[in-house]
Amino acid sequence: MKTKTLLSLLLLSLFTVTFTSCDKDDDEVTKTELLTKSIWNWEKVEVYSGDVLLDTEYKTGYTMKFDIDHTAVLYEPDGNIEEKFQWDLNSDETKLSLTIKSNRVIFFDLILLTNKELVFSFSLTEPPGISKFQKMRPDIDKKVFYFKR
């Protein structure tokens, strides 16, 4: 009887130690890991003036791949390369920067990054966001990009 009770207590304590030693932090992944995990399917771009949605451009078939070496590639629907980038996240992982061919760095606000969704926005009114496009359409001040896996 004592042996059975002692064995039960030993097993109970073993399970308690096993389950309490697992920390939630063990399951957390970094934003870099989420970003580079696999290919992103570009769904759409929303175009805004202030808080008013002006237009939605659907990007069916375009994909984007972020690699751990901080390179990224945007692919056209036929698989050809549309653009190559260098990418980085700021220290608190709230801004995504993309360096394009001309060595111009564009900063995006990282709105959402999960295993299945990536959303970032780009302000056309703040340097270095002012572009030829902004001069043609001064009513547009922000674009929001949506990707899914």
Lowest mean pLDDT, pick from 54-68, 78-92, 117-131: 117-131
Handedness of CA 114, 45, 78, 105 (dihedral sign): negative
**Residue 114 corresponds to which tokens in the numbers above?**
């999960």
CATH number at residue 88: 2.40.128.540
Residues in the chain: 149
In a domain, 19, yes or no: no
76: in domain: yes
Q: If you ran DSSP here, which 8-state letter would residue 24 be given?
A: G
The pLDDT of residue 22? 52
Q: Tell whether the torsion through CA atoms of 45, 111, 64 and 88 is positive or negative.
A: positive
In this predicted model, what pLDDT tens digit does every residue of 16-57 receive, in sequence order? 544 444 554 557 889 999 999 999 999 999 999 888 999 999
User: What is the domain extent for residue 120?
Assistant: 29-148
User: Which amino acid is it at 7?
Assistant: L
Number of domains observed in the structure of the chain: 1
Q: What is the mean pLDDT of residues 3-22?
A: 50
Asked whether residue 5 is domain-assigned, the answer is no
Q: Does position 93 have pLDDT exceeding 80, yes or no?
A: yes
User: Does the residue 7 lie in any domain?
Assistant: no
Residue 12 lies in a domain: no
Task: Please check whether residue 142 is in contact with residue 121, taking contact to mean a CB–CB distance below 8 angstroms.
Answer: yes
Domain assignment present for 13: no
Q: What is the pTM of this model?
A: 0.74
3-state helix, strand, coil in the chain (%, to 5): 25, 40, 35
Give me 36's structure tokens.
């580079």
CA separation (Å) from 129 to 43, 94, 104? 22, 17, 10
Predicted confidence (pLDDT) per residue in 55-84, tens digit: 999 999 999 999 999 999 999 999 999 999
Give the per-residue pLDDT at 2.
56
pLDDT at 134 exceeding the cut of 80: no
